[in-house]
Each structure stands twice: as structure tokens, then as C-alpha cells.
Structure 1
Amino acid sequence: MINMFEVNETNQMIEQENLDVRTITLGISLLDCIDSSLDKVNRKIYDKITTQARHLVETGREIEAEFGIPIVNKRISVTPAALVGGAACRTPEDFVTVAETLDRAAHEVGVNFIGGYSALVSKGMTRADELLIRSIPMALARTERVCSSVNVGSTKSGINMDAVKLMGEIVKMTAESTKDNSCMGCAKLVVFCNAPDDNPFMAGAFHGVTEADAIINVGVSGPGVVKHALEKVRGESFEVLCETIKKTAFKVTRVGQLVAREASRRLDVPFGIIDLSLAPTPAIGDSVAEILEEIGLEAAGAPGTTAALALLNDQVKKGGVMASSYVGGLSGAFIPVSEDQGMIDAVNEGALTLEKLEAMTCVCSVGLDMIAIPGDTKASTISGIIADEMAIGMINQKTTAVRLIPVIGKGVGETVEFGGLLGYAPIMPVNQFSCEAFVNRTGRIPAPIHSFKN
């Protein structure tokens, strides 16, 4: 039973420590929208989404009002569009019409993002996959709420280096196509290894083909809550530190569980997972970097950062699985640069570099996230960075991702403003040595030996 002390404690977390439900994401299968006629595909997609999600935003607001729990975003994820549009789309422009349909449907139901303009190409690309990937720059330039992701590697199948090379070029083209809007298209484009089917967070969310026709996934975030709890055990042993993080993660997950159950009941849609990811925002006190500093680092990026982040990630997951039987998605700690004021400060102070961030991704939930780089960075260099990150995910049997933003017309030392939850970012230097000959090899990097678990 929940007692009055726990109610008061939760109220304090919400009012003073930035606890919120970051997103309720409704996953919708579009497999029944497949058709050889492009007009029919688009009509079916629009009708399915606007029917299935017509009460999503309204329900989220009702739960907010009734329980006093902020629900920041209401979102939709759909079946990867390369699968849905494959029979009808003959050109990249055909796929762009699908993106525009998704955008219209998102506007109609009032969600802030819709994810699933995606392709899964870890072993090879179909013609439809390649057409969708090549359409991404145009699609993201013409839409406001559509998010795109491409899975180019997995522990089971290795890394599709042809797709990695192509994605380096696509990231550059997306930056060019949205350069008048701070290259915002790249902020809505993620390259994955081992992408999960049930991720509620954007820009990487899509509705996996193994999922039900519709599902509710909830993402909870509470960096401020964890930091506040750790302030009370400053200087204590690692055992006390770990127990404090675990207990806090448990409490935060219970809030998400409550919201997920209510949303599931009211929408008559099965509950999928709770994603307990410590997702920061630019708000003061809502920073993963500040948690690392509270653990004992002068700044994120100092020696010991990777160990501290590994500890944090593990204890968050341990606390979460005690609170819910269905913890999934990407649960752990996100380390996006632009969305975390502490990370931004660490970059500006010289404590945090791209290479150190890459090391940190070996133990965190995602990867190189919301990192602004010079606009003149070569496509092959971006492909090399993607390949490095995919290798970390493949070998470590974990999800890794890359969301790089080459800011056209800007260089190291300048900043780029994205606004809202995406914040702003300093332009970080990139290693200038070439990897072009490596990236230009064709084929795929084989799966590691430990992938053979049959």
C-alpha cells in the first residue's frame, strides 16, 4: 500500500526535483496498411493513426490533471515505413508522401512527434529500404513532427558498412536540406545498432514487427530526483551510493507504472514497457552530468567518468526492474550534449571531448547523442564515427546510436540553438584524419563470435 509519506515524497519530486513522465508513446502497427497503390497506402495510414490515436493527447491531459503528474510529451511510433511503403513506393519522392501523411496525422491528433520513418538494414538493404533512406533529407525538410531512424547493425548480423557509408552521406544531406532551421533535420535522425522494438523516446522510436497491433509504452525521467537523493549521501561508501540510486529509481519507476496502467486502461490498449531512462533537459537541476559530479567528479569527462556512468546506469536498471515486471526500451542514462546543461558546460570547459563521449557510450543507454560538429565535416568521417559506435553496440550486445548534427556554416567554438527540450550545443571538434579508404570498402563487418548462441 502507498502511504502518506510516499505521496508527499512523490509530490516533492514533481514540484522541486523535475520528476516527470517524459512521454506516453502509442505504438501502432501499420502492417495492415500495405497496398500496391500509393494513394491507398497513404489514406490507410492516415485513417489508422487518426482513429487509433484520436484520444491519446486528451487521455494524457486527464491523467496529468487527476494525478498531478506532469506528462511532457504524447507521441506515436509506427511500423518502419520502409516495410509499409515497400509495395507502393517506386522513388524517394513516393516515400516522402508517406512522411507527409505521417506528419498530417500527427498534427491532426496533436502529438508532438511521430517516429517510424525507419529502415532496418543491419544485414542488407532491400530496394525499398534504400529508397526510404535516400528520401530522408527531403522528408525531414518537408515535415515538422516526423522522426527517422535507421538500424545498420546488430550483434546477430554484424554491421552493414554499405548502409553506414550511405548514412554518413544522408546525415550531411539532411543538414544541408534543413540548414535554414539550424540543421534541425539531423536532430530528428538516429542511426542505430541493436535498435529496440519498444523504445518510447524520440527520435529513435518505431513500432517493432513483433509487437501487438497497438501498445502503450511510457518513458519516465528523473535526473533531478537522483541528484537530490545523492546530495544526502555525499561522501558515503559505494554501497550506500548504489543503494540510494536503486531506491530512487524504484520510486520513479512506480510513478511511470501508475501512468502506464491508467493510459492503458483508458485507451483500451495493452501496456508494453516502462522505459526508465534518465533523460536530461536544459532545465537547471535536470542534468545527468550533475549526477556524475555529485558522485565525485569535478566535471563530466574527468578521469573516472566512465566508471561513474557505468555504476549509475546499472543501479538505475536494478531499481527499475524491482518496480515493474516490464522495464524495457533503453532504460538507463542518456548523455545528449545539447539537452544537458552540465554536459554543455563540460564541453565548454574542455573537460569533455568527442572521444571521451565515445568511451562513455560503452556503458550508457544510447550513444553519441545530439552532438553538433563543424558543417564542413566530411561524410566519410561521419560514417567512420557511426561505424565506431555501431561496433561498440555490436560487441557489447547493447543498443548504441548516433545523432550527429553537422551545422552548415559553423565551426568549432560557435554554438547552435535548437530550442525547447533540444536546447543548444557548442560545436565540438572532430578528428581530421581520414577514414575514407576504410568506409569505401563494400560489404559488412561480420557478427562477433559470441553472436552464435543457438
Structure 2
Amino acid sequence: MKIRTITTGISLTSLKQQERIIQAAQFNQTAKDFLEQQGYKVQTNRIATNSWEEYLHDFSTAEIIGEIKVIDQFCQNLNVNFFSIGYASSPERIAIIPEIIKNSSIVYCSSRIGDSETGINFANVSESAKVIKRIAEETADGYGNFRFCAWANCKPGIPFFPVSYHEGEPAFAIGLECSDLVTKAFKNSNSLQTAEEKLKLAFEEELTKVEAIAQQISDKFGIKYSGIDSSLAPSLDRETSIAFAYEKLGFGKFGHQGTLTISAIITRILKSLSIKTCGYSGLMLPVCEDVGLAQRANEQTYNLTNLLLYSAVCGCGLDTVPIPGDVTIEKLEAILLDLATLAIKLDKPLSARLFPIPGKKAGEMTAFKSPYLVDCQIFKV
């Protein structure tokens, strides 16, 4: 098991408050060192702020882009791996996001398309669909969509990007990369009941250790600890693919009958842990971040509709899903509407990070040049 991220949240009233960002970056590095001294590998450190609408509300588009460029370089100089400026919640501000993405390297952001209190925001859904299309067309290979998602019903404090945003006093949360625990538990199980028992024990044992260290960090440095997002962020290691872990239970390939049940079992465990959890704390199925998921996508054992179905019982929604470059805005809008409907009906956090691939059609291969993604066939929509 690895620590995918230490994410520190801060609230800003201006991007000129660079001292707060410096303090967050210094804390992240200190926390990283502390965890590594205990034998854990920490992959990234991240900073998330409140919604950028709150501290750039009186700025013109040109002024916003200017501020973003400055803070992007500033954070790179601090060795911050990822910096989230939170979400936009109006069509006018959502429309600026392609320019933000094009003019930055480590800045992430999102759009809010609905929640359980107010329902679906149809105008935001429509604008978010346009943004996904524009980013795909205006960034190299459409890769800019790696740093943007649309979400419904997501609360502050999720440590995973691009959905991450913060509210209130400074706080930190931990996100894990722990699909290896699933592989080990399922490998030696002869029934679903045994698999569930073994996985629950493994998670309780390993995450209790991490929580104890996180609490020490909180006490020592006087910063609030929000919890662990127990979500199963996968790795690019074939041996710990979440898709291949499913298959050790003998129900066939990922996507075949039984996949929904296994997804529900894993999620039930992740949401019943005795530790302090935060964020999604559910099963993640990011297609282009898992070798096994990508391979089964190539074999067409599952599709976009299946992923939405699994989202009903598991994790974060539609993540790193490659789709044809000529997808229409109307089709993108329909996908976002389905996701928002599911999130609100089930009162759970869901997000969509979609990758229209310019010039490519369903069935063709992606050609990412990224250390974070694996190539796979483009989904039909």
C-alpha cells in the first residue's frame, strides 16, 4: 500500500495570500517526510483551496488567467505537484475553465452540476459539456481534460483531484493507493464471504496504522486531520490491477456477471471501517489508470453504461474514460445528466472526467504521453 496523496486544504480571499500557500506546501513536505520515516511511500503532495469564484469574483477573464499563470509557476517553484482552485458554480465562470487549463500546468478545477439540496443545475451541465469538448479540441491530444471534471453532490475535503476543494480552517486528508490489499485478500479466498472478511481485516489493520501516524502529525503541527479517503485508487502495476483482482474470485473477466456484486462488497467494506474516513471512500474504476481495466476495455467486456451501473453501488463515477473526438456536446450533456441524476437519487458523490480524443473514433487506441495513464481502446458513446 502507498500514500497516493497528502492533500492540504486552505481557504483564500486572494491569490496574493502566498504565505498561506507556502505554509501549506511546507506542511505537506513535513508530513511526507514523517510518513516516509514510518516506511510509507508518498507519491504526491497537493493543495486545494475554496472555490476560485470566491477569491477571483471581481476579476475579468484576462485578469483571472493572469492570476492563474502566476500561481501555477509559484506552486511549481514550491514543488507542489497539484494545485486545485476548486469549482465553478455558474455557467459564466465554467466557460472560462478551458482558458485556465490551457494557461497552466498543475492547476486543477471542476464544475458543480448538482447536489441533493438543489437538484440538477441544467445550465451548468450544458456549459460543462461544452467545456469538455473545448478542452479536448484546444489541448494536445485532449489531455487537458485530465485536470478537469464535472461533479454532483461532492462535499469539501476530498483529497483526490480534480474534484478536490476546501472550506473552513486549514486541514489535511490522505488518499491511498491500496489495490494491492484487494489482490492479496481475493487471491486466497474461496468464497465471496471469505473475500469480504479478509479484505475488511486487511483494511482495518493497514489504515489504522496510517491514521495513528496522521493523528501524530495533526497533534504535532496543529493542523486539523480530516481523515483518510479509503477509496481504492489503483496503480499502473499489472500485479495489483483492481480488474484482475476481481477475477481472482472466479466470476470471469471484469465486466461479466458478478462484477456489480463484487463492486458492492468492496464499497461496503470501505464505508464500514472504524477509522475516520472522508471524501469518496468508495471504489474507483478509472479506466486509463489501471492496466487491467484498460485491457478489459480493449476486449469490450464492459462499456460506459456498465460503469454508470457500477457507480450506483461503488465509487466516484466516470473517471478517465476515453471517448470519440467527434462526440457531440448533446451526447456529453446526456452523459453528465445521467451521472448527476444517479448522484442525487442515491445521495452520493459522483464525478465525470471524460477524455474525448481528437481525430479518433470508438475502437481506436489512445496514445497518451503521460506517466499517469495507460492506453486503451476508445469507448463507444
TM-score, reference length from structure 1: 0.80
Q: Distance in 1 between the 2:143 and 2:213 partners? A: 31
1:425 paired residue number: 376
- Residue in 2 that maps onto 1:158: 119
Q: Which residue of 2 aligns with 1:293?
A: 247
**Pick aligned residue for 1:76 from 15, 38, 47:** 47
Question: Could you say which residue in structure 2 is the equivalent of 1:397?
Answer: 347
- The equivalent position to 1:58 in structure 2, one of 4, 25, 29, is 29
Q: Percent identity?
A: 25
Contact 1:77 1:115 survives alignment (8 Å): yes
Deviation sequence 1:143-171 (CA, Å, 0-9, x none):
11011111111112110111101110011
Any idea what SS the aligned residue of 1:23 has?
Answer: strand
Deviation at 1:348, TM superposition (A): 0.8
Structure 1: gaps (5+ residues): 1-18, 34-40, 431-454
Aligned residue among 311, 320, 325 for 1:361? 311
Deviating runs (4+, > 4 A) in structure 1? none
* Contact 1:192/1:401, CA 8 A, preserved across alignment: yes
* Cα offset, 1:418, TM superposition: 4.4
Contact 1:287 1:342 in 2 (8 A): yes
342-351 or 285-294, larger mean C-alpha shift: 285-294
Choose from 250, 256, 260 the match for 1:306.
260
The 5 Å alignment of 1:164-243 reads 164-178=125-139, 180=140, 182-208=141-167, 211-212=168-169, 214-233=170-189, 235-236=190-191, 238-243=192-197
| Residue-by-residue CA offset, 1:268-294 (whole Å, 9 max, x unaligned) | 311111111110021122322122212
Aligned-partner Cα distance in 1 for 2:124–2:61: 16
Cα distance change, pair 392–317 in 1 and its aligned pair in 2 (3 A): same
Match of 2:64 among 95, 108, 114: 95
User: What secondary structure does 2:271 align onto?
Assistant: helix
**Tell me, which stretches of 5 or more residues in structure 2 are unaligned?**
none
Distance 1:195 1:205, change over 3 A: same
What are the superposed Cα offsets for residues 367-422 of structure 1, whole Å, 9 maximum, x if unpaired?
01000111111111111101001100010010111100111112222223142223
Between the aligned partners of 1:393 and 1:29, the Cα distance in structure 2 is: 26
Superposed CA RMSD in Å reads 1.7
Deviations 1:53-103 (A, max 9, x none): 2413431442244111111111101011012211x21x3222223322331
User: What are the equivalent positions in structure 2 for 1:374-453 lying under 5 Å apart?
Assistant: 374-412=324-362, 413-430=364-381
Report the Cα offset of residue 301 of structure 1.
Answer: 0.9
Q: Is the 8 A contact 1:56 1:74 kept in 2?
A: no
The answer to whether the Cα contact below 8 Å between 1:95 and 1:132 also exists between their aligned partners in 2 is: no
SS at match of 2:16: helix
Q: CA deviation at 1:49?
A: 1.0
3-state SS of the aligned residue for 2:4?
strand
Q: Distance in 2 between matches of 1:95 and 1:371?
A: 29
2:85 paired residue number: 116
Aligned to 2:218, what secondary structure does the other structure show?
helix
Cross-structure match for 1:270: 224
Instruction: Provide Cα deviations, 1:22-62, integer angstroms capped at 9, x if missing partner.
Output: 111110111xx2xxxxxxx3423x33312x22413431442
CA distance in 1, matches of 2:161, 2:102: 17
Q: Please tell me whether the aligned partners of residues 138 and 177 of structure 1 are also in contact (alpha carbons under 8 angstroms).
A: no
**1:425 is paired with a residue of what secondary structure?**
coil
Amino acid at match of 2:188: K
1:21 maps to what in 2?
A: 3
Residue aligned with 2:376, SS: strand
Q: Deviations over 1:276-324 (max 9, x none)?
A: 1110021122322122212333211111211210111111222x2x1x1
Q: What's the offset of the Cα at 1:266?
A: 4.5
Q: Distance in 2 between matches of 1:95 and 1:72?
A: 30
How far, CA to CA, are the matches of 2:285 and 2:36 in structure 1?
31
CA distance in 1, matches of 2:241, 2:65: 36
- Against the structure 1 CA distance between its residues 98 and 262, is the aligned structure 2 distance closer, same or farther, given a 3 Å change threshold? farther
What secondary structure is seen at the aligned counterpart in 2 of 1:426? coil
- What is residue 279 of structure 2 aligned with on the other side? 329
Q: Which amino acid aligns with 1:195?
A: C
Provide the rounded CA distance (Å) in 1 between the counterparts of 2:270 and 2:250. 18
Instruction: Indicate if the aligned counterparts of 1:175 and 1:405 stay in contact, CA closer than 8 A.
Output: yes
Q: Aligned-pair distance for 1:341?
A: 0.8
Q: What is the rounded CA distance, in whole Å, between the counterparts of 1:259 and 1:74 in structure 2?
A: 16
Separation of aligned partners in 2, 1:112 and 1:354: 30
C-alpha distance in 1 between matches for 2:213 and 2:138: 38
SS in 2 for 1:401: strand
Instruction: Assess if the C-alpha contact under 8 Å between 1:137 and 1:174 holds in 2.
Output: yes
- Write the letter of the residue equivalent to 1:108: N
2:93 match:
132
Stretch moving more, 64-73 or 189-198: 64-73
Counterpart in 2 of 1:257? 211
- CA 104–337 in structure 1, closer or farther in 2 if over 3 Å, else same: same
Aligned to 1:279: 233
For 2:231, what is the secondary structure of its paired residue? Answer: strand
2:73 corresponds to 1:104: yes
Measure, in 2, the Cα distance between the counterparts of 1:273 and 1:56: 16
Matched, 1:43 2:16: yes
Give the conservation status (yes or no) of the 8 Å contact 2:321–2:354. yes
